Structure 1
Amino acid sequence: MRDVKPLLLDTDFPQISRGRLSTLQMNLGYLCNLSCSHCHVNAGPNRTELMTRETMVTALQFADKYQLENLDLTGGSPEMNPDFRWLVEEARKQGLHVMDRCNPTILVEPGYEETAEFLAEQQVEVIASLPCFLEDNVDAQRGKGVFTASIKALQKLNALGYGQADSRLILNLVFNPQGMALPAPQLQLEASYRTFLSEHFGLQFNQLFTITNMPIQRFGAVLLAKGQFDEYMHLLKRSHQPENLAQVMCKSLISVDWQGYVYDCDFNQMLDMPISGNSTHLDQLLEQMPAEMPISVADHCYGCTAGQGSSCTGVLTAGIE
């Protein structure tokens, strides 16, 4: 796979600074039951990298010491980490709000059938990837049969109370565009999702998050192979909205990789761009948090500020709907 990092580092992206830290995003490993074409992590069934319980303990100590509010679990499929349940239980005991960035098909995979019940029991917010409400589009991006399995899993979550108007169990969906395009306006797309999924499958959910595809890892390599990398970067840059800089996720979040090393965001993690430009382990920040931690930027950051803006929780409030 060709490395896109050298193409991204020579950047004119504006420098930004971190505000109050509220969220620790933890990548529990690159193991996943799918190999999606847009995956910026390059996750898949043959990946072996998994976070250890020792690193999880350090993360929980960090969250407690700095009075964080949210634990954002991602992967791969985070549920495939053998210590996933232990981590969730301990985090909830600490009063942390836990978010599971869930590939919904994992909830109906053999060996994981009771995961949905566990998530409901722990009142975990589920953020489930469903890149389209049309079967052909989803299967083209994620693999044959993924749409059907995803619908089955989402119906299972609904039956447990997720996404229902009178429930505290939050189910949000995630849309990624196919190919070289920015997401459609989030509110309009959410309305289309809501109508179609309700009428055809009886599905309910809380919100739809639209997330721009980042030109890194698997998607970046595809762009290079097709000779479309420069064209896509031009799209991101000409769509840049300076107003979105105030709301980018790295201002309130730090990302921890499966080994415990710290980054400004999940995307920087995949480009091996450590926080403040220096290799820093969570252990070090647990001992002492620097007064200043400049955010490392490169050209891929335009993916977060293009158009409506894009973050782990969908469009940015300063963006254009």
Structure 2
Amino acid sequence: MKTLSRRGHALADPAAQLRVLSGRPSGEKSDRVSAAPDFDGALADAGLAPLSAGSLDTLQVNVGKLCNMTCAHCHVDAGPDRKAENMSAETAEVVLELLEVSGAGTLDLTGGAPEMNPHFRRLVTVARGLGRHVIDRCNLTILMAKGYEEMPAFLAEQGVEIVASLPCYTADNCDAQRGDGAFMKSIAALRMLNALGYGTTADLPLTLVYNPVGPSLPPPQGQLEADYKTRLAEDFDVRFTRLFTITNMPISRYLDHLLETGKYEMYMEKLTAAFNPAAAAGVMCRTTLSVNWDGSLSDCDFNQMLDLPLADSRGKGARPRNIHDAPPAELLKAVLDRPVVTGSHCFGCTAGAGSGCTGAIL
């Protein structure tokens, strides 16, 4: 599979995705706009509007779109061809300065394959030196790639939590999303991580991530975790700490899949009907700040991919939109207690038990 960007696809442009999400099909030339799901209206009806961010618990940093894989459900449209979109040393240093002054307890590193960024190790070692918890959102197969043989040992030495995508415990379903052979490479990586203590000791947590293969909501997280643990232990002698279930967001390559299969409207109706106010109250954007590879700021990783910047300050003019726009302490003051930018895609995080980078909300 090629990325949307490599194919020159219209949906490679976040503006085209937003047109679909707002009710206008991508590339439509007429002025007719069908009704789009009203997320702000759902919040208002639940007494949760306006949604706002408060404390900063997690600094989530997308270090680039470069990846050794091109997964069918990827909301980043990451792949081997996205080499130019990779965080610079200068931006990485500002990220570390912001982390230090913010007091955020967690640095959450994502991509692409974050390990492929040349400054990944510095981000990890400095953050750990500051006493912060560090998460590596790993696709597992990168740990088996040439040139990354020492990465598992490095992660273990630093005490980094690995949060790894494994969309199913069977090869057919996993490979359908991630490519032929991805499942067995992932199993080999998991066994290697187990040998280092990941998933078998409290100091080295190994979290797996499930997302549905089809246009449906994830099953109950606790029940699926038990199934995963049984099947992976019995079939492959693999252990892990916990499982996150994450709903597929209707953006980027998954949006393209929904449109190509004629299931977009059905999926959005399913997400909208399952809106859960309790889940909406606990969405990750309320305690997370998302930093893109170029330093631009968003409320969450999904808004980042849609090029949705932070909202302006009410009555106070423009809010910093990039970590290079202001000194870290000044920037931190400006981004706290901000209104969260929302849209119809947000139904993906608030359907059923809710969904986010830390799995089910409820």
1:12 maps to which residue? Answer: 38
Q: How does 1:1-321 map to 2 (within 5 A)?
A: 1=9, 2=11, 3-9=16-22, 12-13=38-39, 14=43, 15-48=50-83, 49-164=85-200, 166-276=201-311, 280-284=321-325, 286=328, 287-288=330-331, 289-290=333-334, 292-317=337-362
Fraction of identical pairs, as percent = 51
In structure 1, runs of 5+ residues without a counterpart are none
C-alpha displacement at 1:313, in angstroms?
A: 0.7
In structure 2, runs of 5+ residues without a counterpart are 1-8, 23-35, 44-49, 313-318
What amino acid is aligned across from residue 171 of structure 2 in structure 1? E
Which moves more between the two structures, 55-64 or 258-267? 55-64
C-alpha displacement at 1:202, in angstroms?
A: 1.1
> SS of the residue aligned with 2:61?
strand
Contact 2:73 2:248 in 1 (8 A): yes
- Runs of 4+ with >3 A deviation: none
> SS of the residue aligned with 2:190?
helix
Aligned pair count reads: 316
C-alpha displacement at 1:19, in angstroms?
A: 1.9
C-alpha displacement at 1:144, in angstroms?
A: 0.5
C-alpha displacement at 1:118, in angstroms?
A: 0.4
TM-score by length of 2: 0.85
C-alpha displacement at 1:284, in angstroms?
A: 3.1
C-alpha displacement at 1:279, in angstroms?
A: 6.7
CA distance in 1, matches of 2:205, 2:337: 34
CA distance in 2, matches of 1:27, 1:167: 27
> SS of the residue aligned with 2:59?
strand
> SS of the residue aligned with 1:65?
helix
Contact 2:108 2:137 in 1 (8 A): yes
Contact 1:173 1:207 in 2 (8 A): yes
Contact 1:177 1:212 in 2 (8 A): yes
Q: Over residues 197-251 of structure 1, what are the superposed CA-to-partner deviations in whole Å (9 max), with x where a residue is unaligned?
A: 0111111111100000000001001112222211111010001111112210001
> SS of the residue aligned with 2:311?
helix
> SS of the residue aligned with 2:346?
helix
CA distance in 2, matches of 1:272, 1:11: 20
> SS of the residue aligned with 1:313?
coil
When Rg is computed on C-alpha atoms for both structures, the one with the higher figure is 2
Contact 2:55 2:337 in 1 (8 A): no
C-alpha displacement at 1:138, in angstroms?
A: 0.7
What amino acid is aligned across from residue 86 of structure 2 in structure 1? L
CA distance in 2, matches of 1:271, 1:66: 25
Contact 2:210 2:244 in 1 (8 A): yes
CA distance in 1, matches of 2:168, 2:110: 20
C-alpha displacement at 1:11, in angstroms?
A: 5.1
CA distance in 2, matches of 1:177, 1:11: 22
> SS of the residue aligned with 2:289?
strand
CA distance in 2, matches of 1:11, 1:178: 23
CA distance in 2, matches of 1:197, 1:128: 14
CA distance in 1, matches of 2:353, 2:171: 26
Contact 2:54 2:337 in 1 (8 A): no
What amino acid is aligned across from residue 283 of structure 1 in structure 2? H
Contact 1:4 1:221 in 2 (8 A): no
Which moves more between the two structures, 83-92 or 275-284? 275-284
TM-score by length of 1: 0.95
CA distance in 2, matches of 1:312, 1:12: 23
